[in-house]
Structures are given as structure tokens and as C-alpha cells.
């Protein structure tokens, strides 16, 4: 018989690592940094139309970005359009893209440096869906504005946190 493309809403939990290279504008090159690291974890939801392979997923994550005095902590809300190519009933490959909103709660305690309270980025990601329950993904976040501002005399320099995220999600 013919099956209808029944939309599905699934819930799960998502977590992973934030891996970063801070991208400082020229005058900031004296602040050389290696990979910044942090983690993220929280609940997620996924809305999919199975036969078409199109869906939307979103999450509410506690997220740490950066290291030592540059560490940011806050709530991250990614919302991605997701396209999945099923390879059999137990395996799939997905591509995802969408906005990411980060609300920073932690003040950066460095003189003349201000961390932005709200940051918006664009997510570009891909991953695998395994056994209908697990999702393993990699996402690159491209910031739409500066993550930090450094003020010195009459000059203001910006710095952006470009982030690679490696994630694991479990769908209930």
C-alpha cells in the first residue's frame, strides 16, 4: 500500500565540543591563541518529514566557548534546516544550515575588553544518523559580528570566535 509522509516530532539530548581559533583583526595579532575549547549540552527537538528527508532541528544548550580569561559561558540556541538522505532504514547522511544565537552570561575580566552579550552566527553542518537514535555531526559556525571588542585610546578592534563543533545526539 501507499504510505503517507507523516511528519514526526522527536526529542533528544545533544552534547559535544566547541573547538575554536580566535580570528583577531591585524592589531590584535599579538594575542596569538591556539585552539580554544569548551563543551555544550542540552535538550533538542527535531521535526522531520520522513519520505522527503527535510526537517528542522533546534536545541537549547549550555555552552562554553574559548579558554582561560577568554572563556564565554551561556545559552546557545541553534535552529537548523536539515536535509537527510536515507541509506536504508538504519543509516542516513544529513546536511544542515541555519542561524545560531548565543547569549553570553560571563563577563570577561580583562581591561578594555568587552564580550558581546548576544552573538549571532550561521551554522553549516553535516553528519550521520545511525540506528534511528544516534546522530554524529560536525558544524562550522560563522559569526555575523564580533564576539569581543578591545578598546584602546581612540581605537576599537574586534575579534570573532569561529567555531567548529563536534556533536553527538541521542533521540528518544
Better-scored residue on pLDDT, 19 or 2: 19
* Residue 20 burial (10 A CB sphere; 0-12, 13-18, 19+): buried
Dist. CA 8–CA 50, nearest whole Å? 8
pLDDT recorded at residue 79: 98
Which pLDDT score is estimated for 9?
A: 94
| Beta carbons of 149 and 21 less than 8 angstroms apart | no
Instruction: Note the pLDDT of residue 155.
Output: 60
In tens, the pLDDT along 113-161 reads: 566 678 889 999 999 999 989 999 999 998 887 655 555 656 655 566 6
Query: CA 84 → CA 17, 65, 91, 148, 169, distances in Å?
Result: 23, 28, 10, 35, 15
Q: What is the pLDDT of residues 12-67, one digit of tens each?
A: 999 999 987 654 454 444 344 555 678 999 999 999 987 788 999 999 999 998 66
- Give the pLDDT score at 71: 75
Tally of residues, the chain: 172
DSSP string, the chain: -PPP---EEEEEEEEEEEEEEEEE-GGGGGS----EEEEEEEEEEEEEETTTTEEEEEE-EEEEES-GGG-EEEEEEEEEEEEEEESSSSEEEEEEEEEEEEEE-SPP-STTEEE-SEEEEEEEEEEEEETTTEEEEEEEEEESS-SEEEEETTEEEEEEEEEEEEEEEEE-
pLDDT at 38: 87
**What whole-number distance in Å separates Cα of residue 154 and Cα of residue 64?**
31
pLDDT, average across residues 81-86: 94
Q: By the 8 A CB rule, do 86 and 112 touch?
A: no
More confident residue, 5 or 81: 81
When comparing pLDDT for 153 and 75, which is higher? 75
Amino acid at each position: 500500500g501507499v504510505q503517507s509522509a507523516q511528519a514526526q516530532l522527536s526529542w533528544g539530548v545533544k552534547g559535544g565540543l566547541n573547538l575554536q581559533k580566535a580570528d583577531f583583526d591585524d592589531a590584535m595579532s599579538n594575542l596569538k591563541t591556539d585552539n580554544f575549547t569548551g563543551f555544550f549540552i542540552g535538550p533538542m527537538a527535531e521535526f522531520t518529514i520522513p519520505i522527503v528527508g527535510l526537517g528542522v532541528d533546534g536545541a537549547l544548550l549550555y555552552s562554553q566557548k574559548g579558554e582561560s580569561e577568554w572563556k564565554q559561558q551561556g545559552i546557545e540556541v541553534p535552529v537548523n534546516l536539515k536535509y537527510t538522505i536515507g541509506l536504508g532504514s538504519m543509516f542516513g547522511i544529513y546536511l544542515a544550515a541555519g542561524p545560531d544565537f548565543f547569549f553570553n552570561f560571563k563577563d570577561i575580566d580583562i581591561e578594555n575588553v568587552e564580550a558581546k552579550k548576544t552573538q549571532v552566527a550561521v551554522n553549516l553542518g553535516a553528519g550521520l544518523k545511525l540506528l534511528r537514535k544516534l546522530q554524529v555531526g560536525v558544524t562550522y559556525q560563522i559569526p555575523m559580528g564580533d564576539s569581543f571588542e578591545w578598546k584602546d585610546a581612540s581605537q576599537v578592534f574586534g575579534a570573532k570566535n569561529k567555531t567548529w563543533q563536534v556533536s553527538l545526539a541521542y533521540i528518544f
